[in-house]
Amino acid sequence: MIIYDVENFPNPLRVRIALAEKNALDTVTFKPVDLMNAEHRSDAFLAKNPFAGVPVLELDDGTFIAECPAITEYIDHHFAGPALETDQHKEWGQKQHTRALKGLEYFDSVLAKTTYVAGDAFTVADITLWCGLVFGGFCNVTIPASLIHLQSWHDRVAIRPSITV
């Protein structure tokens, strides 16, 4: 595996710490990216990460992972050692579920006054909420029946051609 990074930049540092915690620093090759000379904007680097950011993890099969949370999650699952992900105790999960429901209540109150999250037009805010609700479904967080404005928004958005792709 190869890690393209800039030593001591915040996100690359997170990856290095995760590797160190897994006693796996010696299993990867670090390749510095020369940001001062715009190496991250070169065609070769953009082929690895079109967003031009570091770090980037290149797996042995040529796959690239370009987001720090995804890289650290990969490291956590790929290497032996103590788990680095959030401790998922039942109490923690219940606390997060309550927090998610408060978020849904907030959006219901916003959607009581507008057609979409940011006003009368469908925007990235709606896309973000939609994707959050999809993820929530994986975590058994559903729209409570009492949140009629959010449910109405959900029903409108669900039939948009971009959503039904």
Q: What is the pTM of this model?
A: 0.57
CATH 1.10.3720.10 fits 90-158, yes or no: no
Tell me if domain 2-78 and domain 90-158 are identical in fold: no
pLDDT in tens, 50-103: 999 999 999 999 999 999 989 999 999 999 988 887 656 778 788 889 999 999
Would you kindly state where each structural domain of the chain is located, as residue ranges?
2-78, 90-158
What's residue 17's pLDDT?
94
Q: What is the 3-state secondary structure (H, E, C) of the chain?
A: CEEEECCCCHHHHHHHHHHHHCCCHHHCEEEECCHHHCHHHCHHHHHHCCCCCCCEEECCCCCEECCHHHHHHHHHHHCCCCCCCCCCCHHHHHHHHHHHHHHHHHHHHHHCCCCECCECCCCHHHHHHHHHHHHHHHCCCCCCCCCHHHHHHHHHHHCCCCCCC
Percentage of the chain exceeding pLDDT 70: 98
What's residue 88's pLDDT?
62
CATH 3.40.1280.10 fits 2-78, yes or no: no
